[in-house]
Structure 1
Amino acid sequence: KFITNLSFDGFALGGETIGYNMPRTLELIEELKPLLPQNKPLYTMGLGANPNDVIEVVKRGVDMFDCVNPMRIARHGDLYQGEIIVTGKNVQIESEENGIISISNSKFKNDSNPLDSHCDCYTCQHFSRAYLRHLYLNKETLYLRLATIHNLRYMMRLINVLRQMI
């Protein structure tokens, strides 16, 4: 309560719980949000590892977040995937594997499909899952670029949808 009486331009939530323990993160946001001025932005530091987490915190009134995960998981062969579906005021992701696929999986060896058929990024428009898998397994630097382009564009598309919902 003391902090809310100071003349800050906004408020940030951080610490080892935020984003790492999502049930507790959501509890904290729900506990603290009513205590904070409604006309000031709320920022969760380091949150955004999973697109579903972003949806959940935005539903609870979080305005900003940041996370290195789109690039970090790309380096390790993990790519965001799934259709962003809007139903009324609800946003959800329908995907093969909870929103993140591992391109190293052998099932992609001969998969000529784009990474995500709903995505308009350069990677999805020009390269197959099999080719991305080949690049990743052979440690080609092009993979890092293409995977990062995709993961960042995926998050941008999600954020644009969420903005429309607010």
Structure 2
Amino acid sequence: MSFKVVAQCPVTGARAGELVTSHGVVRTPVFMPVGTQATVKAMAPFELKAIGAQIILGNTYHLFLRPGEDLVEKAGGLHRFMNWDRPILTDSGGFQVFSLAELRTLSDDGVVFRSHLDGKRHLMTPERAVAIQEKLGSDIAMCFDECVKYPSSYEYSMEAMKRTIRWARRCREAHGRQDQLLFGIVQGSVFEDQRLMCAEALMEMDFPGYSIGGLSVGESHQEMYRILDCLKGVLPQQKPRYLMGVGHPSNLMEGISRGVDMFDCVLPTRNGRNGTVFTSRGKLNVKNLSLAEDFTPLDPECSCYACRNFSRAYIRHLYKAGEILAMRLCTWHNLHFLVSLVEGARRAIIEGTFPEYKERFLRVFEGDSADG
């Protein structure tokens, strides 16, 4: 298992790389669809392959609660359990645990929390988060970290960041699965000195990859970009960089231009279920009355299954009729849109045209209205 940068934009620092895992090579930059409960909502594995998904996510917190890591291990691991033979990344469950502030008690040992399913109490420690992910058998696992809400005071963020470092060290010591990569997570909210302190401490532990957590939690886009700029020249060049929970198209372009290799987000599937799609000219609400007699594709420039076969008017009709196919088609389109956008960025980096690719996309996407 290894990572190498095969091309880099001399203007922006955007990278094209190859991440070798036990279930195949991931060509970066890459967008990773989120399969929280061992399934990407509304999508079958063969459909994900059809849109070009190289790697997907599973959620440690949810799979721990249901069906349990022991059952998944008995099934032969997460890949066999969900019939996905390409790489899988599992997060540590830290974000989910800490989003349940009213249901958990935090200490240096770990987190005692109540299940959102049945109220049962559980203790999640760094060692247990690692053990669960080893049983799940993902190709890439995450350290257990503390993700603070935004805004956060400087003092509380500092405390959480230092705890994240201590937990990362315990995760590193507990991790023993040789066919699984373990990534450290850089925390520190919007405070540059804390981000740098955390990054330096994690690099001393020499993780195979580094995640940037605690962004896209309410801060402005400019604050996010400032933190990415801060870390751009610090994180190791020959290690993959993963920006967690970010999936807005503009954020993807800006993240890639700041040297980020990997992204994930529930946004495309959640928006798809709610009737909002990304197009080359911005967002489009498929439920709008103005589309009732619009027989053009969701995005005339898109080649996905939904755009090749159905009109805006038809998909709007499906939503109004309460048909499940509406959510499936919009989810399919959104995932295809983001996967293709990032694939295009990779090609542009290799061809030496990334600045033009980024400028052209953002000018059209942010400048026009798909509803208009």
Structure of larger gyration radius: 2
Q: 5 Å matches for 1:49-88?
A: 50-82=248-280
Count of matched residue positions in the alignment of Structure 1 and Structure 2: 149
- Mapped pair 1:104 → 2:302: no
Q: 1:152 aligns with which of 323, 330, 335?
A: 335
1:54 aligned partner, one-letter code: L
In 2, Cα distance between equivalents of 1:33 and 1:142:
42
* Deviation, structure 1 residue 162: 0.9
- Mapped pair 1:125 → 2:324: no
In 1, Cα distance between equivalents of 2:261 and 2:270:
23
2:205 aligned partner, one-letter code: L
Tell me the alpha carbon deviations over residues 4-27 of structure 1, each in whole angstroms, 9 at most, x when there is no partner.
Answer: 222101111111x33643211111
Relative to 1, partners in 2 of residues 1:19 and 1:124: Cα closer, same or farther, differing over 3 Å?
farther
Question: Conserved in 2, the CA contact under 8 Å of 1:44 and 1:66?
Answer: yes
1:103 aligned partner, one-letter code: V
In 1, Cα distance between equivalents of 2:257 and 2:279:
21
In 2, Cα distance between equivalents of 1:47 and 1:19:
9
Question: Which residue pairs with 1:2 in the alignment?
Answer: 201
Q: 2:234 aligns with which of 17, 35, 40?
A: 35
3-state SS, counterpart of residue 43 of structure 1: strand
Tell me the alpha carbon deviations over residues 125-158 of structure 1, each in whole angstroms, 9 at most, x when there is no partner.
Answer: 1111011111112220011111111111111210
In 2, Cα distance between equivalents of 1:23 and 1:128:
36
* Deviation, structure 1 residue 165: 2.3
Question: Which residue pairs with 2:347 in the alignment?
Answer: 164
In 1, Cα distance between equivalents of 2:315 and 2:262:
31
Question: Conserved in 2, the CA contact under 8 Å of 1:19 and 1:47?
Answer: no
State percent identity of aligned pairs. 40
In 2, Cα distance between equivalents of 1:62 and 1:51:
14
In 2, Cα distance between equivalents of 1:51 and 1:68:
13
Question: Conserved in 2, the CA contact under 8 Å of 1:19 and 1:25?
Answer: no
Q: 5 Å matches for 1:137-148?
A: 137-148=320-331
In 2, Cα distance between equivalents of 1:34 and 1:3:
15
Tell me the alpha carbon deviations over residues 31-66 of structure 1, each in whole angstroms, 9 at most, x when there is no partner.
Answer: 112121111111011011x21110110011000010
Question: Which residue pairs with 1:116 in the alignment?
Answer: 299
In 2, Cα distance between equivalents of 1:45 and 1:157:
19
Structure that is richer in strand per residue: 2
Q: Which consecutive unaligned segments of at least 5 residues does structure 1 have?
A: 83-94
Provide the TM-score with structure 1 as the length reference.
Answer: 0.85
Q: Which consecutive unaligned segments of at least 5 residues does structure 2 have?
A: 1-199, 350-372
Question: Conserved in 2, the CA contact under 8 Å of 1:47 and 1:65?
Answer: yes
1:24 aligned partner, one-letter code: E
In 1, Cα distance between equivalents of 2:246 and 2:331:
18
Provide the TM-score with structure 2 as the length reference.
Answer: 0.39
